[in-house]
Structure 1
Amino acid sequence: MLVRGIRGAITVSDDNVDEILNATRELLQVMQNENGFSIDDIASALFTLTSDLRSVFPAAAARSIGWDKVPLMCFQEIEVPGSLPKCIRVMLHVNTDKSQNEIKHIYLKEAQSLRTDLNR
């Protein structure tokens, strides 16, 4: 079994606790469903938020869906001129037998523009 990285991103319209938590939960659940891993398969998760989002840590959403034993960290995304605003990104490290080509990276809402080559 190997550790694979699974990328995901989603945008929100406002910087508020409920919207950030709901969007993060949606993203994580789609990532889990599309890639078929269990919580025990997750080695760790790293979250970033753009500087215009600071109401809540997205890791709180992961804990609320049962990822309470998974090591989680949150960071601020670097501010690059012209970059996508109000964006939550995640890098999951998952133990899996899947090849790199079988991994499904998930980009939802306006974040689909980040990796048009990977959109479903």
Structure 2
Amino acid sequence: MLSAVSLCGAPSARASALTPEQAAQSGRPSVCPAVQEQLAELLASSQQRIGREADLSAEFEVDAQGRARALSVQGPRRYHSPVRIAVSSLDCKGGRPQRYALNLRFSDSFSAKADKR
């Protein structure tokens, strides 16, 4: 189970009918709606393949066209590449370029359930 612990600097997500250039000029920040759900889906196979619990932090930015790019990933190296790939695959909305900080926790949901017994 992947849980996004916190997303810092994220404005509320709102749909925009503006082009990315118009959104950037209007001052609206770039956003990634449902980033936690997107990352959980994008990283599910990596978590199953790697199969280890881990805590990571990542910084990424979203440009005026809505493209996300990982700036840094901190934590166990085995997850660095999957997190960078997942961030670059996020479905974001363009606007004024925005930087985000994110904490991720990869955990084994089966062992977590066993601990509660």
Question: Given the two structures, how large is their TM-score scaled by the length of structure 2?
Answer: 0.31
Structure richer in helix, relative to its length: 2
Question: Given the two structures, how large is their TM-score scaled by the length of structure 1?
Answer: 0.30
Larger radius of gyration: 2
